[in-house]
Structure 1
């Protein structure tokens, strides 16, 4: 938490305002292909997102659900209990089991777990919350992501808003 751009051995690529891609982290995990960091001038590193490799799956999403369940199990072993959300939006037309991936792709289905104070997770001093989510790339491909929200996140978000509002 708080690391600045100059603290990284390799140069980072800016992919969005205050968001930087890290291709080779100090401790990479084989399930992830890209890491994105939020780094602000005052608060430094405040958020880390790991983006998983593509998972080829059926329209039922079985392989993606399996990858999600496996990672959820690993995170539970480390951080304890979480709150899981697995739901389909009311009135979605993608409501059959074979429509699982299409509903995910259309943002009408959600599969996620959150580790935070409410869930009773055992987080480190620096981590505010952890989010694990499943996303669709197309009707037969998806990926998982993990977001680590650090305790400085709210201050960093306020800093970003202030910097962006200065141009108004």
Structure 2
């Protein structure tokens, strides 16, 4: 009787889907993360640039990144992305105020990191990592400040989720 119960349990368990999760990329793959701001907004269309950098760093830390201060380039001009296992979040905001007072423009985020060729270790390049989304168009009579915060909150979380491969597999013995 016990053997029949064990056999029934094994058959039942082998039909339960097994959940597995792997990542293409994840915050913990990088030893340090930095934020870079590209301010191309004019005439007061974006006024909270310092707060934006702090907010982005906070959002990255919440997502699991080890956020650090952006280091200077090496003496030879080498990007710190090439010399450290780091990832850079580049935040670009462009806009200008029209004659009617309306600010129009866009914002965009991209993550950049070094890419190593496992077959040729002497080669390395810097490029975008993951699906960085599309530029987000924005217009407002005052400025883009709140839009930038909302966009960052969504884009950082989206980037992390896009790196996860989640699949179900039938357990078969």
TM-score of the two chains, using structure 1 as the length reference: 0.29
Of the two, which has the highest radius of gyration?
Answer: 2
TM-score of the two chains, using structure 2 as the length reference: 0.28
More helix by share: 2
- Of the two structures, which has the highest relative contact order with CA contacts closer than 8 Å and spacing of 6 or more? 2
